[in-house]
Amino acid sequence: MSESNDEPGADAANVDRELFRKLEKLRQLRIEHRDLDEVIARLSLDIHVDEIQIKRLKKRKLMIKDQIERCGSGLIPDLNA
C-alpha cells in the first residue's frame, strides 16, 4: 500500500486530479472540434479546394465528436454504483 493512501483525503485528491484531467481532455477535444469546423468552413469557400483534404478533415472532426461523447459520458456518475 502506498503512503499517499494512508493520508486523510488522499483518495479525494486523486479523484479531483482525475476529474480535472478528464475535464481538461474534454475541453481540448471541444477546442479541436471547433477549430476543425472553422478550417472546413474556410476551405469550403475555395473553389480550388482539395476534396480529399476536406473529407479527411470531416472524418477527423467526426472522430473527435465521438471522443467528446465518450469523455462526456465518462463524467456522468454511474447511478448503479
The label of the residue with cell 454504483 reads 81
- Residues 62, 65, 66, 67, CA torsion sign: positive
Confidence band (pLDDT; 50, 70, 90) for 23?
very high
The label of the residue with cell 500500500 reads 1
Confidence band (pLDDT; 50, 70, 90) for 7?
low
Mean pLDDT, range 43-49, rounded to an integer: 91
The more confident residue out of 5 and 46 is 46
- Please give the C-alpha separations between residue 47 and each of 37, 42, 50, 51, 66, in angstroms, as whole numbers: 18, 11, 9, 10, 30
Q: Taking the domains of the chain in order of start, what are their residue ranges?
A: 11-74
Mean pLDDT, range 48-72, rounded to an integer: 95
The angle formed by the CA atoms of residues 31, 36 and 42, to the nearest 5 degrees, is: 130
